[in-house]
Amino acid sequence: MLVVSLFFSAIVYNLFLLPVNLVTGGAGGIATITNYVYGIDPALMILIVSITCALLSELTLKKIKVIFCDAKRNPQSELVSYYGSHDCSQKLKNQIAWNEISKQQVWTVIVAQKINNSVVITYCNSA
């Protein structure tokens, strides 16, 4: 049944909406606009938008915060799940209870990664 409905949706989109550049909501609307402005194949754009939305949805389901940045790499907005992780408080308590050696090891890894990120950004900006 799903295949049949997708087939008819594709027919409607390709025979009626796309030829007259009628913009609808969702991925089809984005595909129509990018096809009209940039000449990008609508099927490819619908696939890209659908995969991107599915991946972002999966990240929020796993309680992963997504931060979007502008062209200067400054935080612009964020995507956060409505409901926090059920064990968030327990994770925080466990981290507070770490011994000093564990805290130092984690801090060393964090600082090393920050240095590596700075080197990469400096290299990219100088190229």
CA 26 distance to own-chain centroid = 16
User: Residue 126's pLDDT is what?
Assistant: 79
Partners of 78 in beta bridges: 67
The answer to whether the beta carbons of residues 51 and 72 sit under 8 Å apart is no
Phi, psi of 77 (to 5 degrees): -160, 175
Task: Give the chain's radius of gyration (CA, Å).
Answer: 22
User: Residue 65's pLDDT is what?
Assistant: 87
User: Residue 76's pLDDT is what?
Assistant: 94
From first CA to last CA, the distance across the chain in angstroms is: 53
Could you tell me which of 16, 10, 71, 18 has the C-alpha nearest to residue 40? 18
User: Residue 92's pLDDT is what?
Assistant: 85
CA distance 96 to 3: 52
Q: DSSP for 36-53?
A: HHH---HHHHHHHHHHHH
Mean pLDDT of successive 10-residue stretches along the chain, which has 127 residues? 79 82 84 90 90 93 90 91 78 90 94 92 81
Q: Is 28 exposed, middle or buried (0-12, 13-18, 19+ CB in 10 A)?
A: buried
